[in-house]
Chains A and B, each alone.
Chain A
Amino acid sequence: MEHRLLADVVSKLGKFPILSPKLTDAALSLITNPFTSDETLTSLLETLVAHLQNPDINHAILFSLLSALSNHHPRLRRRISAAAHAFVLLPTTATPTLPHALSLIEPAEPTPFDPFSDESMFLSLCFWQCVKTRRWTLRNVSKFHVRPSVFLTVLLGLTKDPYPYIREAALDGLVMLSNGGIVVDDRSLIECCYFRSVELLFDAENSVRCSAVRAVSAWGQLLVALSPDKTKADWSDALFVQLCLMVRDREMEIRVAAFSALGNIRTVSEDILMLTLAKKALSGTNEKTFPGQYTAKLFKLPATAAVFIFVNGLEDEFYQVRKSACHAVKKMTVLSAKFAGEVVYILMQILNEDSVVVRLQALQTLHHMAMHDHLKVEESHLDMFFGALVDGNALIRSAARKTIQLTKFQKLAMFRSCIDVLIKNLELCPQDEADVFYALYKIGRSHGKFVTKIIHEVSQELEPSPYGKLGFTKVRTIALLVLAISAPVSLERQISTIRPEIYSYAVTLLGRLTRGLGGLTDQNALLDYLSHCSRFTVGSTSESFGEVLDFHLKDSYFQLQKRSGKISSLFFLCQRNLPPHSCLLNFHVSETTCVEIVFQKIVDLWPLIQLGCMNEVIRTLRSWKEELQFFSLDSRPPAGVLVFALKYLHVIKLLGKAWACYFSKRNLHFNGIGILEALLCKTERRLKEMLHRFTGLSRGVEMHILELMLVTYTLRLPYGGGTIFFEDYTSKVNSVFCRVENLGKEESTQPFPFLIDLQNISHEIGNSRDGFIHKPELLQKSLNLFSLKQIVVSEKLDYLDAEIDVFDNDFQNPLPFISGLPVGIPFDITLHNISLGTRLWLAITDGEKSTQFVFLDLHEFGGCNEIRKSAFVAPFFRTPKVKHFVLKVSVVMECLSEGQHSKHLNGPKQNFIYLSNGKEIHLSTAEK
Chain B
Amino acid sequence: MAIECLVLGAGQDVGKSCVIVKINGKSIMFDCGIHTGYQDHRRYPDFSLISANSGDFTDSLSCIIITHFHLDHIGALPYFTQVCGYNGPIYMTYPTKALAPIMLEDYRKLIFEGREEEKQFSSEDIAECMKKVTAVDLKQTIQVDKDLQIRAYYAGHVIGAAMFYAKVGDSAMVYTGDYNMTADRHLGAAQIDRLQLDLVITESTYATSYRDSKYVREREFLKVVHNCVAGGGKVLIPTFALGRAQELCMILDDYWEKTNLKVPIYFSADSFSGLTLQANMYYKILINWTSQKVKDTYTTRNPFDFKNVCSFDRSLIHAPGPCVLFATPAMISGFSLDVFKLWAPDERNLVTLTGYCGSGTIGRKLMVAKPPTRITLDDNVQLDVRCQIYQLSFSPHTDAKGIMDLVKFLSPKHVILVHGEKPKMVKLKEIIESELEIPCYHPANHETLHIPSTRRIEASASDAFLQSCLCPNFKFLKTDPRQDSELDDDSNNKRKMPQLQVCENRVAQGLLITLQKNQSRKVVTENELIDTIGTEIHEEKFAYCCPIYFPNSESRDISSFHLILFGKLSREFPDLNIQDCEDVIRIQSFVGSFCSKAKCPYRTDVSFQSVLDTVHFCCAWSMGDEELAWRVISTMKNLKLSDRIET
Contacts and interface: CB of A to CB of B under 8 A. Distances in A.
A188 B478 contact: yes
B498 A192 contact: yes
A317 B292 contact: yes
A312 interface: yes
B296 A157 contact: no
B213 A346 contact: yes
A623 to B, nearest CB: 46
Nearest to B496: A291
B192 interface: yes
B471 interface: yes
A206 B504 CA distance: 21
Interface in B164-199: 182-183, 188-196
Interface in A658-682: none
A279 B210 CA distance: 7
A162 B507 contact: yes
B456 to A, nearest CB: 19
Given A160-B474, A297-B437, A204 B194 contact: yes
B503 to A, nearest CB: 7
A198 to B, nearest CB: 10
Contacts of A189: 500
Interface residues of B, number: 56
A160 B507 CA distance: 9
Given A192-B502, A250-B409, A354-B297, A291 B182 contact: no
Interface string B499-533: 11111101100000000000000000000000000
Given A158-B472, A297-B411, A346-B215, A250 B502 contact: no
Given A317-B293, A354-B296, A161 B196 contact: no
B411 A188 contact: no
Nearest to B259: A383
Given A160-B474, A312-B182, A192 B500 contact: yes
B436 interface: yes
Contact of A191 (B210, B215, B498, B503): B498
A315 B182 contact: yes
A204 B405 CA distance: 16
Interface string A203-226: 110100100000000000000000
Contacts of B405: 248
Contact of A196 (B189, B190, B502, B506): B502
B227 to A, nearest CB: 14
A319 B183 CA distance: 12
Contact of B213 (A127, A153, A311): A311
B499 A295 contact: no
Interface stretch (A298-306, A561-569, A875-883): A298-306
B215 A315 contact: yes
A204 B196 contact: yes
Given A160-B507, A297-B411, A194 B498 contact: yes
A231 interface: yes
Contacts of A129: 470-471
Nearest to A129: B470
Interface stretch (B103-111, B131-139, B485-493): B485-493
A234 interface: yes
Nearest to A162: B507
A159 B487 contact: no
A35 to B, nearest CB: 45
Contacts of A587: none
B66 to A, nearest CB: 23
A349 interface: yes
B631 interface: no
A156 B493 CA distance: 27
Interface string B335-351: 00000000000000000
Given A250-B192, A299-B497, A128 B213 contact: no
Contacts of A316: 183, 189
A291 B499 CA distance: 13
A156 B500 CA distance: 11
B182 A300 contact: no
A160 B502 contact: yes
B436 A298 contact: yes
B562 interface: no
Nearest to B194: A204
A289 B293 contact: no
B436 A126 contact: no
B214 interface: yes
A295 B436 contact: yes
A449 interface: no
Contact of B488 (A134, A195, A234, A308): A234
Which of B192, B196, B504 lies at the interface centre, i.e. has the most chain A CB atoms within 10 A of its CB?
A: B504
A298 B183 contact: no
Contacts of B487: 231, 234-235, 290-291
B300 to A, nearest CB: 9
A153 B193 CA distance: 31
B314 to A, nearest CB: 36
A127 B472 contact: yes
A726 B475 CA distance: 79
Nearest to A348: B215
Contacts of B192: 250
A249 interface: yes
A161 B499 CA distance: 20
B193 A319 contact: no
A572 interface: no
A292 B498 CA distance: 10
A860 B499 CA distance: 37
Q: Which of B214, B297, B472, B474 neighbours the largest number of chain A CB atoms within 10 Å of its CB?
A: B472
Contacts of A158: 472, 474
A717 interface: no
Contacts of A191: 498-500
Contacts of B116: none
A280 B493 CA distance: 23
B436 A317 contact: no
A872 interface: no
A345 interface: yes
Interface in B143-157: none
B556 interface: no
A163 B500 CA distance: 22
Nearest to A203: B194
Contacts of B603: none
Contacts of A203: 194
A192 B499 contact: yes
Contacts of A54: none
B200 to A, nearest CB: 13
Given A160-B474, A279-B211, A299 B182 contact: no
B498 A128 contact: no
A157 B213 contact: no
Contacts of B196: 204
Contacts of A156: 476, 502
A917 B190 CA distance: 58
A459 to B, nearest CB: 31
B478 A250 contact: no
Interface of B: 182-183, 188-196, 210-215, 219, 258, 291-293, 296-297, 401, 405, 408-409, 411, 435-437, 469-472, 474-476, 478, 487-488, 490, 493, 495-504, 506-507
Interface of A: 126-129, 134, 153, 156-162, 188-189, 191-192, 194-196, 202-204, 206, 209, 231, 234-235, 248-250, 252, 279-280, 289-292, 294-300, 302, 307-308, 311-312, 314-319, 345-346, 349, 354-355, 387
Given A206-B193, A315-B213, A317-B183, 8 more contacts: A159-B502, A160-B502, A204-B194, A204-B195, A250-B193, A252-B292, A296-B411, A300-B493
Sort A-B residue pairs by CB-CB distance and give the 7 closest, nearest first.
A317-B183, A160-B504, A129-B470, A291-B496, A157-B474, A191-B498, A192-B500
25 contacts: A157-B474, A157-B502, A160-B507, A162-B504, A188-B500, A191-B499, A192-B498, A195-B498, A204-B194, A209-B194, A279-B210, A280-B210, A291-B487, A291-B496, A294-B436, A295-B408, A315-B214, A317-B183, A317-B292, A317-B293, A318-B292, A319-B296, A354-B293, A354-B296, A354-B297
